[in-house]
């Protein structure tokens, strides 16, 4: 035998023991999206690199150093998608979802790829769910997207563990004015900047505010306030959002250092953060990106959306919500011999037909009863069903709760389902 091949750095296998928390999240996502009229869109994992260069921007971590890019055999430059907003906008333009001022509410779910330093909550293949809306310029749709997120946290039992931060980046003109002031300020404090911030000072100074370097927290805290540079229209937009959220009972905090990593945002930006996941505390982030369609060659169209990090949310749910993250079988069939296995497979079929939500596992190998009961216990099933020669001859089945200390009972087959319903609930 040769050497065993292992997975690559920063990517993970999600094993059957852990899949339930993912399904729990995915099911709630589907239900909540459905209840707001958002429809799923699936775009390719592989896109032209140009798509991300043009949308995310050259001076970003993602494009500078995190993309998995390669030249195809015909010379095309391709990349694994590092995020999905650009692909959604590309697809919306390509398939006419933006024409005639129509409104589209879209969601997606899938893996993204960034060559980051792997650590807790930060992987090279990670999963995002996103919601995107095209065609609505006002703060109301931003509020709807935030309400949708809040409902999802409620369904997931996470409301007490995440908090909402909002900020406004204003219009492109507002940002240009603020940018100049910020460059002056940062230039006066250049000694306090790390190398990355020095490099970004003239290319993408807003990103300096987004630093995760604790040694720069002081210089960032003292920086001029972006909100002081908003024009009247931008102020109104931001006040509209806050009024709407307040009216709907959503609590939030204004965080003027919130700039988002990507270049294409304007007006409202927001994040939900948690204190439970160490330094990877942002579980969901979004904002308005009205300029993106134009950057990708179409006419300007309002766009706004958010993306949540599924890996982080699953970890958070597993930590604060462990009791809801279990997935245990209902019934384990203990089958004494070959004839009992055949009979048991048929019985299991009957049970699944009347109770399709139950998980029913048949012991399909000929083995001793003792070892089968051990397997039944190890499976965490609630109930064992037992078939041996005597039960088959009498048309009965043995039923034993694996949760309570009770004797095995023997019941006629046609009464079995009622007894099971009682035990399983
Ligand atoms: P961060 O500041 O944590 O690097 P980001 O600003 O790069 O996040 P976005 O591009 O806005 O993240 O992605 C939205 C969400 O996707 C993040 O809030 C986070 O929950 C999740 N996410 C981003 N990168 C990763 C990653 N490498 N591994 C796991 N989750 C991630
Ligand atoms: Mg990042």
Tell me how far apart the alpha carbons of residues 132 and 107 are, in angstroms, rounded to a whole number.
Answer: 6
| Strand-pair partners of 29 | none
What is the structure's pLDDT at 398? 97
Rg (CA), the chain: 27
Query: Which residue from 307, 243, 260, 277 is spatially nearest to 165, judged by alpha carbons?
Result: 260
Query: Any idea which ligand is nearest the CA of 129?
Result: 1
Q: Which helix (H) or strand (E) holds 164?
A: strand 163-168
- Which residue, chain included where needed, has tokens 């009979």? 343
Distance in Å, CA 313 to ligand 2 centroid: 16
Residue 201 C-alpha to ligand 1 middle, in angstroms? 23
292 Cα: distance to centroid of ligand 2 (angstroms)? 19
Q: Given ligand 1 and candidates 63, 282, 305, which is best to mutate, with the most ligand atoms within 8 Å of its CB? A: 282
Q: Name the residue with the closest Cα to ligand 1, atom 11.
A: 285
pLDDT, residue 324, reads: 81
All domains of the chain in start order, with CATH: 16-170+230-323 (3.30.930.10), 331-424 (3.40.50.800)
Spatial separation of the C-alpha atoms in residues 314 and 105, rounded to whole Å:
25
Q: What is the whole-number distance in angstroms between the Cα of residue 101 and the centre of ligand 2?
A: 33
- Best substitution site from 312, 313, 317 to test ligand 1's pocket, by max atoms within 8 Å of Cβ? 312
Q: What share of the chain is helix, strand, coil (3-state, %, to 5)?
A: 45, 20, 35
The rounded Å distance from CA 253 to ligand 1 centre is: 20
Q: What is the pTM of this model?
A: 0.93
**What pairing do the DSSP bridges indicate for beta strands 69-71 and 77-80?**
antiparallel
Give the chain's length: 425
* Dist. CA 117 → ligand 2 center (Å): 10
Q: Which of 407, 382, 389, 411 is nearest to 398 (CA)?
A: 411
Residues whose beta carbon lies within 6 Å of some atom of ligand 1: 83, 114, 116, 121-123, 126, 128, 261, 280, 282-285, 307, 309, 311-312
The atom number, within ligand 1, closest to the CA of 124 reads 27
Looking at the CA of residue 82, tell me the nearest atom of ligand 1: 10
Per-residue pLDDT of the chain (425 residues; tens, 9 = 90+): 889 999 999 999 999 989 999 999 999 999 999 999 999 999 999 999 999 999 998 878 899 899 999 999 999 999 999 999 999 999 999 999 999 889 999 999 999 999 999 999 999 999 999 999 999 999 999 999 999 999 999 999 999 999 999 999 999 899 989 999 999 999 999 999 999 899 888 888 988 998 888 999 999 999 999 999 999 999 999 999 999 999 999 999 999 989 876 667 899 999 999 999 888 899 999 999 998 999 999 999 999 999 999 999 999 998 998 888 888 999 999 999 999 999 999 999 999 999 999 999 999 999 999 999 999 999 999 999 999 999 999 999 999 999 888 889 999 999 999 999 999 98
Best residue for ligand 1 mutational test, from 307, 308, 317 (most atoms within 8 Å of Cβ): 307
> What pLDDT, on the 0 to 100 scale, is given for residue 404?
86
Query: Rounded to an integer, what distance in angstroms lies between the CA atom of residue 51 and that of residue 76?
Result: 12
- CB-based contacts of 138, cutoff 8 Å, min separation 6: 237, 240
């Amino acid at each position: 035998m040769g050497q065993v091949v292992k997975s690559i750095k920063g990517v993970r296998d999600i094993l059957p023991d852990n899949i339930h928390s993912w399904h729990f999240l995915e099911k709630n996502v589907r239900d909540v999206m459905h209840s707001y009229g958002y429809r799923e869109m699936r775009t390719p994992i592989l896109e032209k690199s140009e798509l991300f260069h043009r949308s995310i921007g050259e001076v970003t971590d993602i494009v500078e150093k995190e993309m998995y890019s390669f030249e195809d055999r015909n010379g095309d430059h391709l990349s694994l998608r590092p995020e999905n907003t650009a692909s959604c906008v590309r697809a919306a333009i390509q398939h006419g979802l933006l024409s005639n001022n129509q409104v589209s509410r879209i969601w997606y779910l899938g893996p993204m790829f960034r060559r980051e330093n792997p650590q807790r909550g930060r992987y090279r293949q990670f999963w995002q769910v996103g919601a995107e809306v095209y065609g609505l310029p006002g703060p109301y749709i931003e509020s709807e997207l935030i309400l949708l997120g809040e409902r999802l946290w409620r369904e997931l039992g996470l409301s007490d563990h995440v908090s909402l931060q909002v900020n406004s980046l204003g219009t492109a003109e507002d940002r240009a004015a603020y940018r100049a002031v910020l460059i002056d300020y940062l230039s006066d404090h250049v000694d306090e900047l790390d190398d990355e911030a020095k490099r970004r000072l003239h290319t993408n100074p807003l990103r300096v505010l987004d630093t995760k370097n604790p040694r720069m927290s002081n210089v960032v805290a003292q920086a001029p306030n972006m909100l002081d540079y908003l024009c009247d229209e931008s102020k109104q937009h931001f006040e509209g959002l806050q009024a709407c959220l307040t009216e709907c009972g959503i609590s939030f905090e204004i965080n003027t250092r919130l700039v988002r990593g990507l270049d294409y945002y304007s007006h409202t930006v927001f994040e939900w953060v948690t204190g439970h996941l160490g330094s990877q505390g942002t579980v969901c982030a979004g904002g308005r990106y009205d300029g993106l369609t134009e950057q990708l060659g179409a006419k300007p169209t309002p766009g706004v959306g958010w993306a949540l990090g599924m890996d982080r949310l699953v970890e958070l749910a597993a930590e604060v919500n462990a009791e809801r993250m279990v997935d245990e079988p209902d019934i384990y069939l203990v089958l004494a011999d070959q004839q009992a296995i055949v009979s048991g497979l048929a019985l299991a079929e009957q049970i699944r037909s009347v109770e399709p939500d139950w998980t029913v596992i048949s012991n399909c190998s000929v083995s001793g009863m003792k070892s089968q009961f051990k397997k039944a216990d190890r499976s965490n099933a609630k109930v064992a069903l037992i078939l041996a020669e005597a039960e088959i001859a009498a048309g009965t089945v043995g039923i034993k709760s694996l949760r309570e200390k009770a004797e095995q009972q023997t019941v006629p087959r046609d009464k079995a389902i009622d007894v099971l319903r009682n035990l399983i609930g």
